[in-house]
Amino acid sequence: MVAPPDNDVLWARGLTHAHDGSPALHSVSLGVRDGEILAVSGPRGSGKTTLLRCLSGQLLPQEGEVWFNSTPVHTMGPLTRERLRRDRFGWIDPEPALVPELTAWENVALPLMLRGFGRRAAKTAALEWLQRLDVGGCARKRPYALLHSERQRVVVARALVGSPTVLFADEPTAPLHRAERGHVLRTLTAAARSHGITVVLATHDPETAALADRTVSLLDGRRVRTVHLPQPAETEGRAACSLSV
Ligand SMILES: Nc1ncnc2c1ncn2[C@@H]1O[C@H](COP(=O)(O)OP(=O)(O)OP(=O)(O)O)[C@@H](O)[C@H]1O
């Protein structure tokens, strides 16, 4: 094993993985610099989610290495990886999954309370983040009483509240209308920059990828130089993407 370069917060080499025999990643290597916003782009099924799950320690790749700040993640046991995810990483799914029995602020406060914060401090931080994401008025509502887009804003607040070292965002604005997307993404990226949070952002949307500092492109599980993703209006009746390897 060779340790990664010092300025990479995450570093992966030769990641290869298949789900039940169906190939998802093939020999993907990349480095993520401290504090950068990195987009992982590619069409549907190109391996973006699988790559984020390998980088975040949710999934052990069948081949390859993942390093976080010079510590190998691929050799960690499940409990150590779980602690790493809880204490250092944030995660946003395309679908807003919240605990139905808890209010919006309690959902946002949850990661802090799991880390041992007192209820009052966790609540103050949760309310601040809900305000920043324009859903402060929803703080006392339970998820069933929220619009889909409000739920996703609550999920974003929950991912940011603990100032993770790395935030993994898998199509974070997929459930939002186009008009809302920009605002949530700008809030997310501005918060990440001001708190020095590194973001790895999976997206098949060129407008979302454009907000990143750098883009890594995937096609059929392999890293390619560029993938030209179509604008939504371009897709009908045309090839879904073109590439340059
Ligand atoms: N749990 C699974 N079981 C079986 N096959 C899977 C599983 N997860 C992903 N795959 C397959 O692995 C490949 C890569 O999927 P992945 O979800 O990583 O791509 P993606 O680029 O994130 O796609 P999308 O944008 O649709 O989420 C696809 O062919 C997909 O069908």
Which ipTM did the prediction report?
Answer: 0.94
Q: Is the minimum distance from the CB of 50 to ligand 1 under 6 angstroms? A: yes
Closest Cα to atom 3, ligand 1: which residue?
19
Q: What is the DSSP string of the chain?
A: --PPPTTEEEEEEEEEEEETTEEEEEEEEEEEETT-EEEEE-STTSSHHHHHHHHTTSS--SEEEEEETTEESTTS-HHHHHHHHHHHEEEE-SS----TTS-HHHHHHHHHHHTT--HHHHHHHHHHHHHHTT-GGGTTS-GGGS-HHHHHHHHHHHHHTT--SEEEEESTTTTS-HHHHHHHHHHHHHHHHHHT-EEEEEES-HHHHTTSSEEEEEETTEEESEEEPPPGGG-TTS-S-EEE-
Q: Is the minimum distance from the CB of 45 to ligand 1 under 6 angstroms? A: yes
Q: Set out the domains of the chain in order of their start, with CATH numbers.
A: 8-229 (3.40.50.300)
Q: Is the minimum distance from the CB of 46 to ligand 1 under 6 angstroms? A: yes
Q: Is the minimum distance from the CB of 177 to ligand 1 under 6 angstroms? A: no
Distance 41 CA to ligand 1 centre (A): 14
Q: Please report, in tens digits, the pLDDT of each residue of the chain (245 residues total).
A: 666 666 789 999 999 999 998 999 999 999 999 999 999 999 999 999 999 999 999 999 999 999 999 899 999 999 999 999 988 999 998 888 899 999 999 999 999 998 899 999 999 999 999 998 889 999 999 999 999 889 988 999 999 999 899 999 999 888 778 878 887 888 889 888 988 999 999 998 888 888 899 999 999 999 998 766 665 544 433 333 333 33
Q: Is the minimum distance from the CB of 44 to ligand 1 under 6 angstroms? A: yes
